[in-house]
C-alpha cells in the first residue's frame, strides 16, 4: 500500500454525538495512528490522533466496513453511506478489485420526531431510493488500482506526479458514481485515504491456460455518470454531447512471461457503446415498443458533431460507428437520420457502418454475422490494441481507433457484436504475445478457452442490461454457446415481458433514484417537490378510468361466479374493454414517470 492508496478496511464506531471511522488493514489490524471523526450534530469532519483522543470503544456500537461511499443530505439531515460487505473479484496488476454486495445508509440524526408527517413520507422514499440504487449490482472499487481509466490512458498520461495524487483526484470523473457523495471529504486532502472512488458497470477476471501458457483475461465496463438512467427515459444525447447508456468496455490480458511477474505484459482493447447520438426520445406509453420521436426543430447535425468531437477529445484516433438498428419499421427513421447526419458532418475521423442485425440474422441465421465481421476486419487490425512492454515504455504500442456500437437500447444486439469484435482482437493479442501461433484462425480451435471467453462477455452483457433495462440481456445464448437455442429464446421471452412491466411501471421511480444518487437532484427540506406526490390513483379522469376498470372486472367476475348471467357478464366485459382502451390510448399518462427531474 502506498501513501495515496485508500485504506483497505475500517471500523465504524457510532456514538450519540459522532461517528468515528478507524482505518484497519485486510486482517483487521490497526492501519493508522489517527482516525476520522464526524460530528453528527454539526456535520464537521476532523482527523484525531488516537493517542491524544482514545476511542471510547465500550460506549459505542462498532461495525466493520469496507469503505465509505459518501454522504448525502435527505429530509432528516445528513446520512453516511458505507460498504458493509464486498467480495473479491480478482486482481489486476497485483491490485485487488472488489464488488460491493451490501451497503448501509446511516442517518446522523437518530430520530425523525422533528419532522412533519409529510416530511417523514419524503424521508422514507428518498432513503429507499438510495438503497434501491445501491442494491443494483455492479458497483466496483479498488483501493490501489484506477478502475476508471484504461491501461492505455494511464500509460500515456500518468506521470510520476499524477501517480502521487489521491485516488479520487486521479480517477476519471466520467465514471466515478460517488463523486457527488464524496464531495464533503474530497475538498480536504487530509481525508484522501478515506475517499474511495466507486465505478458502476462490470468487472470480470478469469485465470486462463491456453496451450501451456497461463494468463488472466479481464473485462472492465465503465458506465458514464452523464445522462445516466434507465431505458426509455434516457435516450440520445444532451446539449454537451454526452449520450445515454454510454459504456466503455476494456478487454485486458495480463501475461507473466515464464511465470515471472517482472516480465509482466499487459494488453488491452477498448470498445464503446452509447445511445444513438441524436436528440431523440422514446417515452413509455404502455405499448410494447413506443415509437422513437425526432422533433423537426432539433439540430441533429449539431448533436452528432458535438458527441463525436467529445469522443475524439476523450479517446483520440479514428472512430467507426456500427449502427445495428432495423432499416424498416419503427427504427428506420432514427437509423436513417444517423446515417444522414454522418454523411452531412463529413468528419475525417468518423466512418459509418450500417448493419440491419434483425434482417441479416433472421430465422436464427446468426452465422451471417460474419458479414459484419468482414466489414470491420481491416479496422480491427489497423486500430490494433494497447501493449505494454516490460521495462521499456518506448516499445509500447497503442490502439489508434475505436469501434462505437449501438442498437436501440445498446444492449442485446450490441452485446453480441461487441463480443465478436473482442474475440477477433483477442486472437491478434494472443498471437502477438506468443500464446497461440499465427496459424490459429479462430479461438474456437481452443474450445475450453472459447467457452470461458463467451461466458465472460455474456456476464458483462447481462450486467449492463440489468443496470439499464432491469433484466438480463437478450440473445445471451448466442454469446455463451455461439448459437441460438430454444431455451435461450424462451428466456428472452420472459426477460422481454419483465422489461415491459419494469419499464412502464417502475422505471420512473428508478430514474429519480439515480438522479438523487448522482446529485442531479438536491434535497431541500424546506422546498420538497410537490410533483413527487402525484399518483395515477387520483380524482381525475385517469384515476376514474383505473377505478372503473377494476370495478367492471370485479362485476364481470361476480356475474360469472355468482349469478351466471351471460348478458350481464357481456355488459361488464364491454365496459371493462372500454376502460382498458381508454387507458391504452392515453398510456403515457398511466406509466410510472420521473417526478424529481424532467429531461
Q: What are the pLDDT digits (tens) for 36-69?
A: 999 999 999 999 999 999 999 988 899 999 999 9
For residue 295, name the pLDDT band (cuts at 50, 70, 90).
very high
**Would the pLDDT of 478 be above 80?**
no
Same domain membership, residue 503 and residue 357: yes
Q: Does residue 191 lie in a domain region?
A: no
Same domain membership, residue 576 and residue 514: no
Would you state the pLDDT for residue 231?
A: 93
Would you state the pLDDT for residue 544?
A: 77
pLDDT tens figures, 513-567: 999 999 999 999 889 988 887 665 555 667 777 888 788 888 888 888 776 778 8
Same domain membership, residue 327 and residue 226: yes
For residue 1, name the pLDDT band (cuts at 50, 70, 90).
low
Grid cell in block for residue 125: 422514499
By the 8 A CB rule, do 400 and 383 touch?
A: yes
Q: Does residue 164 lie in a domain region?
A: no
Q: What is the mean pLDDT of residues 315-339?
A: 96
For residue 303, name the pLDDT band (cuts at 50, 70, 90).
very high
Same domain membership, residue 252 and residue 108: no
Would you state the pLDDT for residue 535?
A: 62
Same domain membership, residue 115 and residue 234: no
Would you state the pLDDT for residue 570?
A: 87
Does residue 338 or residue 165 have the better pLDDT? 338
By the 8 A CB rule, do 470 and 499 touch?
A: yes
For residue 398, name the pLDDT band (cuts at 50, 70, 90).
very high
Q: Does residue 594 lie in a domain region?
A: no
Q: What percent of the chain has a predicted confidence (pLDDT) above 70?
A: 97
pLDDT tens figures, 361-371: 887 777 889 99
Same domain membership, residue 558 and residue 436: no
Q: What is the mean pLDDT of residues 255-271?
A: 93
3-class DSSP assignment, residue 100: strand
Domain residues for the domain of 18 are 9-151+155-159
Contacts for 95-98 with beta carbons within 8 Å, 24 or more apart? 95/142, 95/143, 95/144, 95/145, 96/142, 96/143, 96/144, 96/145, 97/140, 97/141, 97/142, 97/145, 97/147, 97/203, 97/205, 98/66, 98/140, 98/141, 98/142
Q: Does residue 599 lie in a domain region?
A: no
Would you state the pLDDT for residue 26?
A: 92
Same domain membership, residue 246 and residue 128: no
Same domain membership, residue 212 and residue 132: no
Global pTM reads: 0.93
Domain boundary among 140, 159, 178: 159
pLDDT tens figures, 78-94: 999 999 999 999 999 99
Would you state the pLDDT for residue 562?
A: 78
Would you state the pLDDT for residue 235?
A: 96
Q: Which residues contact 144 (CB under 8 A, 6 or more apart)?
A: 1, 2, 5, 6, 95, 96, 167
Q: Does residue 571 lie in a domain region?
A: yes
Q: In what order do the strands lie in the sheet with 45-49?
A: 45-49, 34-39, 18-24, 9-14, 61-65
**Would the pLDDT of 488 be above 90?**
no
For residue 433, name the pLDDT band (cuts at 50, 70, 90).
very high
Would you state the pLDDT for residue 484?
A: 67
Question: How far is it between the farthest Cα atoms of the chain?
Answer: 88
Residue 563 DSSP symbol: I
Same domain membership, residue 260 and residue 391: yes
**Would the pLDDT of 466 be above 80?**
yes
CA–CA separation, 186 and 179 (whole Å): 8
Q: What is the mean pLDDT of residues 111-140?
A: 93
For residue 497, name the pLDDT band (cuts at 50, 70, 90).
confident
Domain boundary among 489, 518, 547: 518
**Would the pLDDT of 397 be above 70?**
yes
CA–CA separation, 499 and 322 (whole Å): 25
Would you state the pLDDT for residue 424?
A: 96
CA 429-434-439 angle, 5° bins: 85
- How many domains are there within the chain? 3
Would you state the pLDDT for residue 492?
A: 78
Q: What is the mean pLDDT of residues 458-472?
A: 93
Letter string b/e over residues 376-396, b meaning 16 or more CB atoms within 10 A of that residue's CB:
beebbeebbbbbbebeeeeee
pLDDT tens figures, 404-423: 999 999 999 999 999 999 99
By the 8 A CB rule, do 277 and 237 touch?
A: yes
Same domain membership, residue 413 and residue 308: yes
Q: What is the mean pLDDT of residues 100-121?
A: 93
Same domain membership, residue 307 and residue 392: yes
Q: Does residue 412 lie in a domain region?
A: yes
**Cα 522 from chain centre:** 22
Q: What is the mean pLDDT of residues 158-177?
A: 90
CA–CA separation, 335 and 321 (whole Å): 12
Q: Does residue 122 lie in a domain region?
A: yes
Q: Does residue 270 lie in a domain region?
A: yes
The pLDDT mean for the chain works out to 92
Residue 286 DSSP symbol: S
Same domain membership, residue 564 and residue 512: no
Would you state the pLDDT for residue 316?
A: 96
Domain boundary among 159, 181, 216: 159
Amino acid at each position: 500500500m502506498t501513501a495515496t492508496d485508500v485504506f483497505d478496511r475500517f471500523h465504524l464506531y457510532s456514538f450519540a454525538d459522532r461517528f468515528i471511522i478507524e482505518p484497519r488493514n485486510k486482517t483487521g489490524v490497526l492501519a493508522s495512528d489517527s482516525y476520522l471523526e464526524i460530528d453528527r450534530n454539526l456535520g464537521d469532519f476532523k482527523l484525531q490522533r488516537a493517542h491524544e483522543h482514545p476511542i471510547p470503544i465500550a460506549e459505542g456500537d462498532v461495525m466493520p466496513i469496507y469503505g465509505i461511499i459518501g454522504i448525502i443530505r435527505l429530509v432528516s439531515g445528513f446520512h453516511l453511506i458505507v460498504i458493509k460487505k464486498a467480495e473479491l473479484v480478482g486482481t489486476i496488476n497485483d491490485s485487488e478489485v472488489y464488488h460491493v454486495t451490501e451497503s448501509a445508509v446511516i442517518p446522523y440524526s437518530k430520530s425523525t420526531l422533528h419532522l412533519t408527517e409529510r416530511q417523514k413520507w419524503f424521508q422514507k422514499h428518498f432513503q429507499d431510493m438510495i438503497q434501491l440504487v445501491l442494491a443494483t449490482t455492479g458497483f466496483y472499487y479498488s483501493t490501489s488500482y484506477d478502475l476508471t481509466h484504461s491501461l492505455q490512458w494511464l500509460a500515456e498520461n500518468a506521470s510520476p506526479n499524477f501517480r502521487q495524487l489521491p485516488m479520487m483526484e486521479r480517477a476519471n470523473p466520467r465514471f466515478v458514481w460517488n463523486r457527488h457523495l464524496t464531495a464533503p471529504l474530497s475538498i480536504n486532502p487530509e481525508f484522501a485515504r478515506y475517499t474511495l472512488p466507486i465505478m458502476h458497470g462490470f468487472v470480470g477476471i478469469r485465470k486462463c491456460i491456453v496451450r501451456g501458457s497461463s494468463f488472466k483475461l479481464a473485462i472492465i465496463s465503465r458506465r458514464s455518470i452523464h445522462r445516466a438512467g434507465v431505458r426509455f427515459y434516457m435516450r440520445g444525447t444532451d446539449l454537451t454531447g454526452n449520450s445515454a447508456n454510454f459504456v466503455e468496455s476494456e478487454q485486458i490480458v495480463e501475461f507473466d512471461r515464464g511465470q515471472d511477474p517482472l516480465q509482466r505484459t499487459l494488453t488491452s482493447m477498448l470498445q464503446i457503446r452509447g445511445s444513438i447520438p441524436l436528440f431523440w426520445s422514446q417515452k413509455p406509453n404502455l405499448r410494447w415498443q413506443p415509437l422513437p420521436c425526432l422533433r423537426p426543430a432539433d439540430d441533429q447535425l449539431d448533436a452528432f458533431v458535438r458527441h463525436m468531437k467529445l469522443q475524439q477529445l476523450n479517446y483520440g484516433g479514428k472512430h467507426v460507428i456500427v449502427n445495428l438498428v432495423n432499416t424498416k419499421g419503427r427504427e428506420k427513421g432514427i437509423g436513417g437520420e444517423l446515417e444522414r447526419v454522418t454523411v452531412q458532418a463529413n468528419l475525417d475521423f468518423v466512418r459509418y457502418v450500417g448493419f440491419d442485425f434483425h434482417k441479416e440474422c433472421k430465422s436464427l441465421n446468426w452465422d451471417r454475422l460474419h458479414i459484419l465481421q468482414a466489414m470491420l476486419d481491416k479496422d480491427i487490425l489497423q486500430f490494433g490494441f494497447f501493449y505494454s512492454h516490460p521495462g521499456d515504455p518506448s516499445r509500447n504500442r497503442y490502439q489508434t481507433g475505436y469501434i462505437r456500437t449501438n442498437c436501440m437500447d445498446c444492449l442485446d444486439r450490441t452485446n453480441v457484436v461487441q463480443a465478436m469484435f473482442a474475440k477477433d482482437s483477442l486472437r491478434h493479442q494472443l498471437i502477438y504475445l506468443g500464446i497461440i501461433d499465427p496459424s490459429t484462425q479462430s479461438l474456437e480451435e481452443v474450445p475450453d478457452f472459447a467457452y470461458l471467453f463467451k461466458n465472460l462477455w455474456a456476464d458483462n452483457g447481462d450486467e449492463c442490461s440489468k443496470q439499464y433495462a432491469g433484466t438480463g440481456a437478450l440473445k445471451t445464448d448466442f454469446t455463451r454457446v455461439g448459437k441460438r437455442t430454444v431455451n435461450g429464446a424462451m428466456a428472452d421471452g420472459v426477460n422481454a415481458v419483465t422489461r415491459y412491466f419494469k419499464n412502464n411501471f417502475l422505471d420512473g421511480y428508478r430514474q429519480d433514484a439515480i438522479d438523487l444518487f448522482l446529485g442531479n437532484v438536491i434535497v431541500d427540506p424546506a422546498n420538497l417537490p410537490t410533483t413527487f406526490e402525484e399518483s395515477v390513483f387520483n380524482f381525475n379522469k385517469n384515476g376514474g378510468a383505473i377505478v372503473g376498470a377494476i370495478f367492471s372486472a370485479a362485476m364481470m367476475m361476480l356475474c360469472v361466479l355468482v349469478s351466471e348471467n351471460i348478458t350481464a357478464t357481456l355488459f361488464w366485459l364491454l365496459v371493462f374493454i372500454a376502460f382498458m382502451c381508454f387507458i391504452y390510448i392515453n398510456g403515457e399518462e398511466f406509466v410510472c414517470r420521473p417526478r424529481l427531474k424532467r429531461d
